[in-house]
Structure 1
Amino acid sequence: MNKFFKSLALVEKSSAILASRFRKNESFFDPLQVFNEWSKSRKFTFTDTKCLHAHLLRAYEMHKNPFFANSLVDFYFKSGSLDYAVKVFEEIPELNVVSWNIMVSGYNENLLYDDSWRVFCRMHSLGFVPNQFTYGGVISACCSLQNNVNGKQIYGLVMKNGLFTNGYVRAGSIDLFAKSGCFEDALRVFYDVSCENVVCWNAIISGAVKNKENLVALDIFNEMCGFSLPNSFTFSSILTACTALEELDLGRGVQGWVIKCGAGEDIFVSTAIIDMYSKGGHMDEATKEFWYMPIRNVVSWTAMISGFVQNGNSISALQLFNEMRKLRVETNKYTITSVIAACANLAMITGAQQIHCLIFRIGLYKDSVISASLINMYSNIGAVGLAELVFKEAEKKHVVAWAGMISACAKHGSSESAIALFQRMLQECLRPDMFSTCSVLSIVECANLGRQIHCLSLKNGLLNDVSVGSSLSTMYSKCDLLDESYKVFEQIAQKDNVSWASMIAGYAEHGCAYKAIQLFRDMLSVKAKPDGKTLIAVLTALSALHSLKNGKEVHAYALRRDNSKHAVAGGALVNMYSKCGALHLAWNTFNMIPVKDQVACSSLVSGLAQNGSIEDSLELFHYMLMTDLGIDSFTMSSLVGAAVRLDILYVGLQLHTHIIKLGLESEVSVGSSLVMMYSKFGNINDCREAFDHIQKPDVISWTVIITSYALHGRGGEALRLYDLMKESGIKPDSVTYVGVLSACSHSGLVDEGYFHLKSMTKDYGIEPGNRHYACMVDLLGRSGKLEEAKRFIDEMPIKPNALVWATLLSSCKLHGDVELGKLAAEKAIELQPSDAGAFISISNICADIGQWDEVVKIRSEMKQTGLKKELGWSYS
């Protein structure tokens, strides 16, 4: 025999079986009997195998018996002695297909799948013909490696060698392609030949479920019932498909099959039924099924606890966990994470502390998944400091704890901390997962940083994940980059409701209502099912367009899909009808909402206020105060705006009192409305005080205060406010420049007016419109530069409208320039013949200089055209 066999010594401690046999009579040693006994018991070690090996060398010519050699290779693999197994294999003089099969399966059993593949390649290159067990083993290795390329090559050899009808090989091939994400290839393998093998049916059904092709799984199950009887594995998979599709009635039908086939006592089937009822919200039926189970394991207990948590019943979840502990049922980390989720609210803070202590006691505090769950729990109850302590003690080799802490920081507004943690994670050479990427994207407001994370996601292969794609799309939308947002949205392969809703909302929030509605139509055309968030987004777009007809269609769609949509999108429906002026429909929709929440009440209050129904809006506002519904800034700003439009100062003052009481005076929308109100009623000091209380003034609030000062003849102060606005980093818009130019006009600042008019285009790229040019004409006219004003109009890059000529006409009236006034009046009347103002102005000019014939002529023209001078009136 070779050197390896000759050098193998008999070990001192032999197995009990061998020792007893050799003590009796060594000549009676029967290796076949030993191999059979060991194969049945599987109670052998590396030492036992070496002992047997030594006895075989001494008593038999082992190299002449391939069965002995192959069995030794197998035993060495099973005892974890891979080096010895390989050495014995290499010294076998005449290898056969069994030898190669043992090597392939041995490497598989020891999770060395690459070595298994290399052994197969070597076998094939040496000309050995694989059998079904060889193919089954190497296919299993490719499946574990998720290497569908090599898997396809193996299946090609299977087809070539005529083994494609073998159920064992086909089931392995189906499993390989399904787990590698190539479900279409798995289907092709399954349908290559007709088959009654239940294992193949189970493989394709399970593969369909794992690839979220649940409807396909149901179709194949229906086919299967005509060929083969389902077993427990089939029922577990098909019940999972029913759960994913929310097909509870169909699931009940499958449960009937389970009872009929006698598979109800199978623990995996029962657990799948519990999961189906739990996720469908039917915890009574899940509980009944659970207590009927003859045997319950940790999976079934965990499924029940998780079901209670998902249905918001934390108390029952904790009670069941306590019962589980009393019965001394083994708990695993999935049980613990479900219990942690049950404690993730302020009412369960005592339970949170107790479960944390239990985790320390049972030694699971180092587990990264448990650490992440604890971080999330403390984050949900607002204890960010405790979350940070857990993170400091957590094992940081896994990304899951980092992701939990980043999410906690993002959730509580600590944007800088979240981004810093994300950067530290990269410095630790950890690859961000989709959860940490989505969390950090949710707080990114800088396009450059967002693009860097986009590139990182592309590098890490995360763009195929729908949640990452949706987060990127939303991030670009928040940064006002709608084109880039839509490009990312288009690249999402499997769009879900979140991705559709975020893109529709992005268009709606950025004034692209038509695009939002078109996207909603596209969503319906691909048979996607909009949820409440999507309906709210599209209703927001319709509100901006005042599209009552389309709004009614969306409302009808929501009712047809699910009557409970009123509870989800009720506020959006009320807002849409209010914005469209259909107050009776807004009231009807409001009355149909089962529980009046803040959104619905605020929408109706605002709608009533904006449509002039101030008494009804105040009555509903009083109802909100009496029922302790939260009052938001949107509601208060709408009410103040209504008081301004209706010139009701005492109502505005009372509302201001409520605003101070509610602590909303620092909100930008409320503060802007108050500034506008006091400006309208002529109190510029209160106007400034209201502005100073705004915490973060935006372009609207700055514009309102600048315009207020301008209209009250305090142009210099208005321009100083404009400088402060620029210093604060707020960019002016076209409306702001109307206020700035009005300030110049009321203060006679001609040079400053020209400067700011040029600055619009030069510094901010804003093209002046007729309102801006009218302000300049007013500025020149007030300064007595009527001819310059006329030249200015003639040189305008756009065609002057009636407002520009009417402004010049007013200046001519002020300075008594009849000829230029007549020209301005003719132009104004030509552009807007239905406006009596131009006729009245030129008539007054002629009257001031005694041209009564002209006055009579102009009055006669007014009568001929049917125009009348409105009578003046006052409050006094």
Structure 2
Amino acid sequence: MNSLTHPKTHTRFPILGLKLVSSLSVAENPSILHDKNEQKLSPLDPIQLFNHWNNSRDCSARDTKIFHAHFLKTKIFHSNAFVANSLVAAYCKYAHMIYALKLFDKIPHPNIVSWNVMITGFNQNSLFEDSWRAFCRMRSFGFEPNEFTYGSVLSACSALQFPFCGKLVYSLVVKNGFFSNGYVRSGMIDLFAKYCCFEDALRVFYDVSCENVVCWNAIISGAVKNGENWVALNLFRQMCGRFLLPNSFTFPSILTACAALEELDLGKGVQGWVIKRGARGDVFVGTAIVDMYAKCGEMDEAVKEFFRMPVFNVVSWTAMISGFVQNDDFISVLQFFKEMIKLREVINNYTVTSVLTACADPAMVKEAIQIQCWIFKTGFYSDSAVKASLMNMYSKIGEIDLSEMVFKETEDFQDVGIWAVMISAFAQNRNSEKAIDMFQRMLQEGLKPNKFCSSSVLSIVDSLDFSRQIHCYTLKVGLAFDVSVGNSLSTMYSKCGRLVESYEVFQQIVEKDNVSCASMISGFAEHGHTDQAFQLFRDMLFEETVPDDMTLTAVLAACSAIRSLNSGKEVHAYAFRGGIVKKVLVCGALVNMYSKCGALDTARRVFDMMPVKDKVSCSSLVSGYAQNECIEEAVRLFLEMQMADLEVDSFTLSSILGAVSQLNGPGIGTQLHAHVIKTSLESEVSVGSSLLRMYSKCGSIDDCRKAFLQIKKPDLISWTAMISSYAQHGKGAEALRLYELMRESGTEPDSVTFVGVLSACSHSGLIEEGYFHLKSMVKDYGIEPGYRHYACMVDLLGRSGRLKEAERFIKNMPIKPDSLVWGTLLAACKMHGDIELGRLAAQKVLEFEPYDVGAYVSLSNMCADVGQWEEVLKIRHVMDGTGARKDPGWSTV
């Protein structure tokens, strides 16, 4: 009631403009409102006046107290339950719960409405424990709850995360026959969906045939929150099939499900429903539409829908910014953020963390510093989530020192999440020492590292003993069976060569995901157990687990490892049928698989059909061309990458350098070297090793040495390549000196390194050094010599003319000599003209390889050199009888 109007003069007398005491006076003594014609207003009902006043915007807690005093004075409070309940509700409305509770206790005869008012009031003021106690107290006094009571107390159980109490309440609901009430069922569905099993929520929903849209909204929302997006869409179809009209509460949940599943066409259909139902102006529905388009990668449509919204809020702005981040459009992120600041829109920590994610790029260091200054200025720096994002941003742009600075300025060191971000930052920057140190500091300070801390440390630790200690810790605190920790443990054991333990950990993971399977498949493939990799993939399909692009990439890597073209084609067909073949990751793996299997035409077709070509797929194809000696195609594709402004990484350059090294000419290789210097990749170990091998094959040992010296941190492969290059060019002394430098650097040699070392001894005639290094293999490094090592020793003795010693060496070998060893002795015999021993060596070679033309030719030439022409004819006759044919020589001169 906003005014009192005189029936004749229409003089307005605004009640809300008077003091409340005056209004009550008018109500009790209406004669004061007489006009000049002595006509009276009809008496006012104080209760009606209170209700109007309580529902008005200008009412306050003070006014409620004045009404309270009036009702006590007139004794209406003790005689009218409606007035008492209304006063209690008013106090609850203004958060005066102490007054409300005292007043409630003074109600002479409280009824079920009184109890409902108190329980609802506690809920409104987030006093959920008091709400639960009030319900228990009401039951102890013998009051029977109604649907409003049950609905309110179920809301309290949901807020308190008390699913057990909720089940007790629901048992009363079923017992007392309220289970079909929509208000009660929606509360129970919401509770089960949040804190119990979603299947229980579905069971409650399907207990009774429901035509209540609120219940449908509750179960659909619960499905989305539990990640059951297909179930949510199916429920939506059922709802529409029953001719129940969705509303503005239904649409956001369904659109969220479409966004999560990237079901763009279905999302557009739901948008049609939104337009038809006239819900387009709802800010939550509009935001859900924007978010759906953004997550499906349709940013142009997202922008259109955003600007069609009549009202923007921080959620809609943040949805747009997150969409741009997801699509790597960092420029648009900053433009929208600047527009928010310009329009003075509300900005929350989710918005800031999204912007910081966009700035986590080395090319955006300047913008990152500006954003941090703005964060300082606006006070967001005290927010733990923002600090965590700042630390993560700095670690990704390589400024790990700044991440540490932000961490040290954290006030709450009891926040495990901040520690987890810092450990992850060290892990991302391959700083295992600091990551481990921080993990140990957490334990020393009484903090319990969570699954993120454990996973990050396990991802970088290469010590099996320390990793097992972390494994023990995760078992002790119950983290070992978490899927992320289990994945990290399985991967760690696989990297350490403990495949059996890796598989044991994998089997112990209760809820395996695609990451678990992909990691295990990769582990099997890397260690040569491709059969187990394929079997695990089959088990996934049998269990109806849908593989994602990571899993298919791992399986294709297994196909590449064993060069199984047929298996690769089967996986390709599966990916095509499942619609995953368009994923860039899968396309790159397919290109790599076909390249490794020699099917270069198919690899090129897959590459040409890729919607977006990335450096991985380009590098794989370049490598495939190089390995199959298609040098022209490799160079042409490399030039196409340059013209398309695709980033050329060290792997691509290594592949193309390996291809051009087969040309035995430095022309193209020198140009590529210039490009390497231009891109500052000459210090990369893979590129430097490829350069020195290329120059070595071209005979330019000086350039080879320069390329080696440019490598920042030589690894075993680069050391070995340089040693072998020196050996091949007759620089045995330099090769042995380099070997000693390698040992001093802490790099341990392998069997291939010793082949280079022994070859250097052979080319330089260093017999004693050769024997020393052959013994050192077993004594110092536990490496058993192989055929190539023994062949090098035979070559060393043979070049020095010590043929009898070479023969004795062969006879005393711990392994049976093969054609390589005897062939080396045969070459030495030809060099020194020892026909008898040469005949023996040739006979041994032909026992292993009856069609070896080289053995026949070498023996024939030896006989010809000493004039034994009859022997030459015999050897040629035997050679013709075996069908062996010598290819004619040719020259380009």
User: One-letter code of the match for 1:247?
Assistant: E
1:833 to 850, 867, 889: 850
Corresponding residue for 1:194? 209
Residue of structure 2 equivalent to 1:7 = none
Partner of 2:722: 705
Contact 1:44/1:79 (8 A) holds in 2: no
* Matches for 1:428-439 after TM superposition, within 5 Å: none
Counterpart position of 2:709: 692
The change in CA–CA distance for 1:562 and 1:105 in structure 2 (over 3 A counts) is closer
Work out the CA distance in 1 between the residues paired with 2:472 and 2:25: 70
* Cα drift, residue 433 of structure 1: 6.3
Deviation for aligned residue 1:218: 1.4
State whether structure 2 residue 316 is matched by structure 1 residue 275: no
Give the distance between the partners of 2:831 and 2:583, measured in 1 at CA.
Answer: 59
The change in CA–CA distance for 1:197 and 1:575 in structure 2 (over 3 A counts) is closer
Shift of 1:34: 9.6
Structure 2 Cα separation of the partners of residues 577 and 495 of structure 1? 30
CA contact (8 A) 2:822 2:845 kept: yes
Which deviates more from structure 2 when the two are superposed, residues 267-276 or residues 508-517? 508-517
Taking the aligned partners of 2:775 and 2:363, their CA distance within structure 1 comes to: 61
Structure 2 equivalent of residue 209 of structure 1: 224
Is 81-90 or 658-667 further displaced after alignment? Answer: 81-90
CA offsets per residue over residues 628-665 of structure 1, 9 Å max, x none?
Answer: 65444334444443454443355555555554555443
Answer whether contact 1:116 1:141 (CA < 8 A) is retained. Answer: yes
- Which has the higher mean CA deviation after the structures are superposed, 603-612 or 740-749? 740-749
Q: Match for residue 249 of structure 1? A: 265
1:573-588 map, 5 Å: 573-588=590-605
Amino acid at match of 1:611: N
Alpha-carbon distance change, 134 to 726 in structure 1, aligned in 2, over 3 angstroms: farther
Task: Work out the CA distance in 1 between the residues paired with 2:794 and 2:163.
Answer: 76
**How far, CA to CA, are the matches of 1:108 and 1:503 in structure 2?**
49
Once the two structures are superposed, residues 776-833 of structure 1 have per-residue CA deviations (whole angstroms, 9 ceiling, x without a partner) of 5556666777777667656655544322343455566677776665554444322221
CA deviations 1:669-720 (Å, max 9, x no partner) are 3333344345445555554444333222222222223334445555565444
How far apart are the structure 1 equivalents of 2:322 and 2:695?
Answer: 56
Could you tell me the TM-score, scaled by structure 2's length?
0.78
Letter aligned with residue 706 of structure 1: I
Residues 172-181 or 296-305, more deviating: 296-305
Cα distance change, pair 245–131 in 1 and its aligned pair in 2 (3 A): same
Residue 76 of structure 1 contacts residue 82 of structure 1 at CA under 8 Å; is this kept in 2? yes
Q: Residues 206 and 784 (structure 1 numbering): CA distance in 2 closer, same or farther, change over 3 Å?
A: same
| CA RMSD, Structure 1 to Structure 2 (Å) | 5.2
1:179 to 2:194 alignment? yes
Match of 2:255 in 1: 239
Match in the other structure for 1:672: 689
Q: 1:260 aligns with which of 264, 276, 285?
A: 276
* CA contact 2:27–2:45 (8 Å) conserved in 1: no
Displacement of 1:183 in angstroms is 0.5
Aligned partner of 1:737 in structure 2 is 754
CA contact (8 A) 2:665 2:698 kept: no
Residue aligning to 2:13? none
- What is the deviation of 1:205? 0.8
Structure 1 distance, partners of 2:475, 2:50, is: 55
The yes-or-no answer on 1:865 pairing with 2:882 is: yes
The farther-off stretch of 585-594 and 344-353 is 344-353
8 Å CA contact 1:602–1:634 kept in 2: the answer is: yes
Q: Which runs of 5+ in 2 are unaligned?
A: 1-17, 30-42
User: What residue in structure 1 maps to residue 159 of structure 2?
Assistant: 144
For residues 85 and 299 of structure 1, what CA distance do their matches in structure 2 show? 36
**1:245 positional shift:** 1.9
SS at match of 2:820: helix
Deviations 1:740-795 (A, max 9, x none): 44455556777766665565456555444333344455566667777776676566
Query: Are the counterparts in 1 of residues 163 and 191 from structure 2 also a CA contact under 8 Å?
Result: yes
CA spacing shift, 1:479–1:64, aligned 2, 3 Å: farther
Moved more, 694-703 or 847-856: 847-856
Q: CA deviation at 1:206?
A: 0.8
Q: Name the CA distance, whole Å, in 2 between partners of 1:253 and 1:761.
A: 72
**3-state secondary structure, aligned to 2:280:** coil
User: Which one-letter code corresponds to 2:223 in the other structure?
Assistant: A
Change in 2 beyond 3 A, CA 1:753/1:131: farther
Q: Tell me, in whole angstroms, the C-alpha distance in 2 between the residues paired with 1:346 and 1:756.
A: 47
Q: Aligned-pair distance for 1:366? A: 2.7
After superposition, give the CA deviation of every residue in 1:341-368 in whole Å (9 maximum; x if it has no partner): 5666688788767765665565444333
How far 1:223 moved relative to its partner?
1.8
Bigger mean CA deviation after superposition, 710-719 or 829-838? 710-719
Within 1, Cα distance between the matches of 2:238 and 2:632? 66
Q: Quote the Cα distance in structure 1 between the aligned partners of 2:23 and 2:446.
A: 57
Take 1:693 and 1:702, find their aligned partners in 2: how far apart are those partners? 13
Alpha carbons of structure 1 residues 570 and 70: separation in structure 2 relative to 1, 3 Å: closer
Asked whether the 8 Å contact 1:407–1:440 carries over to 2, the reply is: yes
Classify 1:56/1:459 alpha carbon distance in 2 versus 1 (closer, same or farther; 3 Å). farther
Deviation at 1:189, TM superposition (A): 1.3
Cα distance in 1, alignment partners of residues 219 and 231 from structure 2: 10
Q: Distance in 2 between matches of 1:289 and 1:689?
A: 59
1:407-418 superposed matches below 5 A: none
Work out the CA distance in 2 between the residues paired with 1:834 and 1:588.
40
Q: Would the alpha carbon gap of residues 190 and 463 (structure 1) be closer, same or farther in structure 2, given more than 3 Å must change?
A: farther
Contact 2:170 2:188 in 1 (8 A): yes
Determine the C-alpha separation between the residues in 2 that align with 1:529 and 1:857: 69
Partners of 2:853 and 2:885 within 8 A in 1: yes
Q: Name the amino acid aligned to 1:201.
A: W
CA drift of 1:207 comes to: 0.5
Q: Which residue of 2 aligns with 1:366?
A: 382
Q: Return 788-797 or 106-115, whichever deviates more.
A: 788-797
CA distance in 2, matches of 1:806, 1:614: 32
Q: Show the 5 A alignment for 1:485-634.
A: 537-554=554-571, 565=582, 572-592=589-609, 598-621=615-638, 630-634=647-651
Q: Equivalent of 2:173, from 137, 154, 158? A: 158
Deviation, 1:113, is 4.0
Cα offsets for 1:15-46 (capped at 9, x unmatched): 986898699989x9999789867975799988
Q: Does 1:727 align with 2:714?
A: no
Given residue 203 of structure 2, which amino acid in structure 1 is its aligned partner? Answer: R
Query: What residue identity is the alignment partner of 1:703?
Result: T
The amino acid that maps onto 1:174 is I
Equivalent pair of 1:396/1:402 in contact (CA under 8 Å): no
Q: CA deviation at 1:243?
A: 2.0
Judge which range, 138-147 or 848-857, deviates more. Answer: 848-857
| TM-superposed deviation, 1:196 | 1.7
Deviation at 1:156, TM superposition (A): 3.6
Distance 2:93 2:444 in 1: 41
Question: How many angstroms apart in 1 are the aligned matches of 2:822 and 2:440?
Answer: 60
Alignment of 1:775-814 (within 5 A): 775-778=792-795, 798-810=815-827
Structure 1 unaligned spans of 5+: 1-14
Give the Cα–Cα distance (whole angstroms) in 2 for the partners of residues 649 and 281 of structure 1: 46
Question: 1:268, 1:595 → 2: CA distance?
Answer: 34
Partner of 1:225: 240
Are the counterparts in 2 of residues 571 and 599 from structure 1 also a CA contact under 8 Å? yes
Superposed counterparts of 1:36-115, under 5 Å:
40=55, 105=120, 107-114=122-129
